[in-house]
Structure 1
Amino acid sequence: MDSVTSTEFGAPMAELACSSGIVPEGVLNGAEPVVLRGLVAHWPIVHAANESNRAAVDYLTRFYNGKPVNAFLATPEANGRIFYNETVDGFNFAQSQVYLDDALNKIIDVADQPNQPTYYVGSLEIPQHLPGFDAENALDLGQTSVREGIWLGNQSVVAPHFDFPDNIACCIIGERTFTLFPPEQQANLYVGPLDFTPAGQPISMVDMNNPDLDRFPRFAEAMNAAITVTLKPGDAIFVPSMWWHSVASKSALNGLVNYWWRSTPAYLGVPTNALLHAILSIKYLPKEQREAWQALFNHYVFEQPDDMYDHLPAPVKQKQNQMSELTARKLKALLSSKLK
């Protein structure tokens, strides 16, 4: 492909200068996206990328330990869009196990060719496949249980989706345009199946390259609420939990390092699992029963009145107000037995 075309829209995003390589205080606890210009401009991989794509590939492959990686490959007709097929019973790409150095060299080889296929290696765990890279290209977020991944490929467009963890994404090679939508815009994004997704997360069915407002009229409201930014190598962005975001990789070779962490312990599980179970057990109940369960969820989950356990003896009240790892394990075991 000559380039991935995209319809860019959205208001500019808030920005902070971060030449010191330190995330400004308060950003990681915020609820709004923030661009962090120059946050990782000092990284060796960014210096290599600014020299050339070949220098960037040579730098990355110094750390590669030869383990196969999962790659997405789409034909030129996909125009870089990682998506479903026409009937939404499959996808417009194939997945295969490849060697990362072979994939990166292939991207370099076809960089000047028209009608390129799309190569996409996503969410590759750095310690598992590029040991030592994070020692030379480090970012201290002051968080525990941070998952560090790298995303590599040529030009592509990833549909709007959300992630449960908070996220700092650092552009290391090429340019990437992020378009973000607030969580309350979910109803205007025309989300696809929850149980059948291209990469694990539900995605918007709207083509970000060419939004069809006749088919998806409410997306016009989402466009009005969107914010956008283009990152260059060395820039980063903080994407808060549950914000929908689309990412367009703009260059012949693109690289991104991201850090995911959550504000609650991992033993509490992932809310998406609760959503799927609620769809299974509540969605098809009669209206009156659904409303009764909605009231229970509001009381125990979403509203949580301060005095909701005041009528219980103090030891029982304390137990009900706390969620320890032991209690979480007991609840999971109970759920597992009931689901059988």
Structure 2
Amino acid sequence: MKPMLERDGVTREIFEREIAPVYQPVVMRGLVKHWPLVAQGRAGLQSCLHYLMSFDKGAAVDAVLAKPGPSRAFTYGPALDGFNFIHDKRPYAALFEQLWRYSHFAEPPLLAAQSALVQDAMPGLEQANACPLLSGDVLPRIWIGNRATVPAHFDDSHNIACVAAGQRRFTLLPPQCASLLYLGPPDYAPTPAPMSVVPDLLRADPQRFPLLAEALEHAVVAELGPGDALYIPPLWFHQVEALAPHLNILMNYWWRPEPAPQRQDDLHIAAMRLAMLAFRHLPDPEREGWRALLGHYVFGARDEALAHIPEGQRHMLGDVDAAFDAAIRQDIVDRMKP
């Protein structure tokens, strides 16, 4: 593994010009060190929880709880026929009280409230602790818990993750490592994102998961403290370890580029699942043929590869307006009807 690229003094202009277009993860040290939440996180568990409660409106949020174990990961069960945690909804007051009690345990159960939309759960917190790199319409989510690991997974959005309290270790791998990470089914995972069945890439059994050694040759790793932030490009696998024993807080921002007017930007995972259904029954030689055609039509047919077709006659290979986009989608829906 290699250390992750780091930048200090990142501004919005630098981020948009030099970081986001490169498709590489970058640690941005001290990006949100000015946040009041970071100051409260540095002050300790009790001070930080009191600060958060001043924004809490009492709404129930998603929470997960798991028994302590060697990996301390929210992951699949041993037979992959379920998960190793229970899930419920509870108000932050109950969660914070539980975190406080668990802070007196040498090895407490794993507890986390994950991915709550801040403007709904703690309105005003997002304005008092704003990300300087993004516009206000990119809404943050908050993750609060004790020491635990989320195994390697990917998202199809851009992501800026800001550590507000505690310590986090991020291990990132490019999408090309997918075949080496022992991924579970895309439609059955501990989180909405497809995930590796390996609870912890850094402590895995090499006899059981021999391909991980090659994957980790491509991995980059970084530890972030309060005030630090990380840019994660779409589709990069990331294992996230919350390292502080009693309290770790992350605010993250997911976004995708603005789609064309009246068009949605929501087909990526759905298209992958549909392709899995469409090609799975074909014999291997035919599947390889489709791999070549997808490589051309989906990923390769642009610029010089289209020079033989007049621009006005490129149809799906050219510019697609909202009406044409809607017609293609409807044709696909119609073809899928029994």
TM-score by length of 2: 0.90
Tell me the equivalent position of 1:191: 183
Task: Report the CA distance shift for 1:315/1:54 in structure 2 as closer, same or farther (over 3 A).
Answer: same
CA distance in structure 2 between the aligned counterparts of 1:103 and 1:59, rounded to whole angstroms = 14
Compare 251-260 and 182-191 and name the one that shifted more: 182-191
Tell me the equivalent position of 1:59: 51
Tell me the equivalent position of 2:256: 262
CA distance in structure 1 between the aligned counterparts of 2:82 and 2:316, rounded to whole angstroms = 47
Contact 1:46 / 1:172 at 8 angstroms: preserved in 2?
Answer: yes
Q: 5, 12, 21: which is aligned to 1:29?
A: 21
**Aligned residue type for 2:2:** A
Compare 161-170 and 104-113 and name the one that shifted more: 104-113
**Aligned residue type for 2:224:** L
Once the two structures are TM-superposed, the CA of residue 113 in structure 1 deviates from its matched residue by: 0.7
Task: Report the CA distance shift for 1:23/1:234 in structure 2 as closer, same or farther (over 3 A).
Answer: farther
Compare 280-289 and 213-222 and name the one that shifted more: 280-289
Compare 294-303 and 326-335 and name the one that shifted more: 326-335
SS of 1:76's equivalent in the other structure is coil
Q: Work out whether 1:110 is the aligned partner of 2:110.
A: no
SS of 1:81's equivalent in the other structure is coil
Tell me the equivalent position of 2:326: 329
Once the two structures are TM-superposed, the CA of residue 290 in structure 1 deviates from its matched residue by: 1.9
Contact 1:32 / 1:240 at 8 angstroms: preserved in 2?
Answer: yes
SS of 2:7's equivalent in the other structure is strand
Contact 2:11 / 2:132 at 8 angstroms: preserved in 1?
Answer: no
Once the two structures are TM-superposed, the CA of residue 224 in structure 1 deviates from its matched residue by: 2.1
CA distance in structure 2 between the aligned counterparts of 1:305 and 1:132, rounded to whole angstroms = 45
Q: Work out whether 1:140 is the aligned partner of 2:140.
A: no
CA distance in structure 2 between the aligned counterparts of 1:157 and 1:149, rounded to whole angstroms = 18
Task: Report the CA distance shift for 1:212/1:319 in structure 2 as closer, same or farther (over 3 A).
Answer: closer
CA distance in structure 1 between the aligned counterparts of 2:39 and 2:11, rounded to whole angstroms = 16
CA distance in structure 2 between the aligned counterparts of 1:19 and 1:135, rounded to whole angstroms = 20
Q: Work out whether 1:83 is the aligned partner of 2:75.
A: yes
CA distance in structure 2 between the aligned counterparts of 1:324 and 1:121, rounded to whole angstroms = 41
Q: Work out whether 1:210 is the aligned partner of 2:207.
A: no
Contact 1:71 / 1:95 at 8 angstroms: preserved in 2?
Answer: yes
Q: Work out whether 1:273 is the aligned partner of 2:270.
A: yes
Contact 1:143 / 1:261 at 8 angstroms: preserved in 2?
Answer: no
Task: Report the CA distance shift for 1:127/1:284 in structure 2 as closer, same or farther (over 3 A).
Answer: same
CA distance in structure 1 between the aligned counterparts of 2:14 and 2:172, rounded to whole angstroms = 20
Contact 1:183 / 1:242 at 8 angstroms: preserved in 2?
Answer: yes
Tell me the equivalent position of 2:192: 200
Once the two structures are TM-superposed, the CA of residue 293 in structure 1 deviates from its matched residue by: 2.2
CA distance in structure 1 between the aligned counterparts of 2:136 and 2:294, rounded to whole angstroms = 30
Q: Work out whether 1:164 is the aligned partner of 2:156.
A: yes
Compare 83-92 and 315-324 and name the one that shifted more: 315-324
Identity across the alignment (%): 33
Once the two structures are TM-superposed, the CA of residue 300 in structure 1 deviates from its matched residue by: 1.4
CA distance in structure 2 between the aligned counterparts of 1:277 and 1:44, rounded to whole angstroms = 45
Q: Work out whether 1:12 is the aligned partner of 2:3.
A: yes
Task: Report the CA distance shift for 1:21/1:305 in structure 2 as closer, same or farther (over 3 A).
Answer: closer
Task: Report the CA distance shift for 1:144/1:109 in structure 2 as closer, same or farther (over 3 A).
Answer: closer
Task: Report the CA distance shift for 1:169/1:277 in structure 2 as closer, same or farther (over 3 A).
Answer: same
Contact 2:6 / 2:28 at 8 angstroms: preserved in 1?
Answer: yes
Cα deviation code 1:268-313 (max 9, x no counterpart): 3231211111110112212333233223212211111436666667
Q: 219, 225, 235: which is aligned to 1:232?
A: 225
SS of 2:277's equivalent in the other structure is helix
Once the two structures are TM-superposed, the CA of residue 264 in structure 1 deviates from its matched residue by: 5.5
Number of equivalences: 331
SS of 1:66's equivalent in the other structure is coil
CA distance in structure 2 between the aligned counterparts of 1:239 and 1:213, rounded to whole angstroms = 27
Tell me the equivalent position of 1:99: 91
TM-score by length of 1: 0.90
Contact 2:311 / 2:318 at 8 angstroms: preserved in 1?
Answer: no
CA distance in structure 2 between the aligned counterparts of 1:227 and 1:314, rounded to whole angstroms = 42
Tell me the equivalent position of 2:212: 219
**Aligned residue type for 1:232:** G
